[in-house]
Amino acid sequence: MGLKVAVVGATGNVGRELLALLAELKFPVSEIAAIASRRSLGREVSFGDKTLKCQSLDYFDFTGWDICLMSAGGATSKEWSPKIAAQGCLVIDNSSQWRMDPDVPLVVPEVNPEAAMEYKKKMIIANPNCSTAQLVVALKPLHDLAKIKRVVVATYQSVSGTGKEAMDELWTQTRGIFVNDPVKTEVYPKQIAFNVIPHGGDFMEDGYTTEEFKLVAETK
């Protein structure tokens, strides 16, 4: 007997990857729904060898569904995750919205799977950002052997973390460089093609970036 799984944000890069992984891992799904905003209603996405048509988040009834994989950004999650949870569907959120909420477990399965059992407080489980997730998988066994007091971390992150517009800018700049077109910057403050810039997220008042803050807070 499988689970009824809904993927919110199914037309985005992460949503499509979630659908691909569910199919690849042969996750026990009895029914699957691809959900997105109203402007994506009817768009087709792949699930293994099947094609799913996107349904609208505004009108989807989550009653009777087991899991909602939420990957539609923090603002959407803030509005919709509590509504979905109120219908009895467990929300596993991929945004930063719930990570610091004391009533929402922040879980990396290889590190603290037992924390997931605290989901009943809000029917929401959060996962940390990509840098934190892979970092703590490496740190956990070391910490168990000898308590870690300090870690110095450098991350090199792909433009996909900023979204589709950033990926398009990288492609446009890369192509332009090869044909000697002028480089235009819109998403990033500097040329990103063939470059690395110290600008992960947005700068805060203390001079650190939001990506740096998340790595520290979520790891703790």
| 3-state SS assignment for residue 96 | coil
- CA distance to 172, 173, 177, per residue, from 181 (Å): 10, 8, 6
Q: In degrees to the nearest 10, what's the CA dihedral of 153, 157, 161, 163?
A: 150
- Tokens 């924390």 appear where? 115
Please state the pTM of the whole predicted model: 0.86
What whole-number distance in Å separates Cα of residue 10 and Cα of residue 34? Answer: 5
pLDDT at position 30 is: 97
CB 55 within 8 A of CB 41: yes
What whole-number distance in Å separates Cα of residue 36 and Cα of residue 14? Answer: 12
Is 78 inside any structural domain? yes
**For 114-146, how does the pLDDT look when each residue is reduced to its tens digit (9 = 90+)?**
999 999 999 999 999 989 999 999 999 999 999
Angle at 137 between CA 19 and CA 202, to 5 degrees: 75
What whole-number distance in Å separates Cα of residue 69 and Cα of residue 63? Answer: 15
Q: What is the chain's alpha carbon radius of gyration, rounded to the nearest angstrom?
A: 19
pLDDT at position 1 is: 78
pLDDT at position 194 is: 97
Give me the domain span that covers residue 65.
3-127
pLDDT at position 100 is: 95
CATH of the domain at 120: 3.40.50.720
Is 163 inside any structural domain? no
Average pLDDT of every residue of the chain: 95
Is 191 inside any structural domain? no
pLDDT at position 13 is: 86
Is 211 inside any structural domain? no
What whole-number distance in Å separates Cα of residue 183 and Cα of residue 81? Answer: 40
Helices in the chain by DSSP H: which ranges?
Answer: 13-24, 74-86, 130-145, 164-178, 210-219
Is 7 inside any structural domain? yes
pLDDT at position 200 is: 84
Overall residue count recorded for the chain in this entry: 220
Is 12 inside any structural domain? yes
Q: How many domains does the chain have?
A: 1
pLDDT at position 162 is: 85
| 3-state SS assignment for residue 146 | coil
Low-confidence ranges of the chain (pLDDT < 70): none
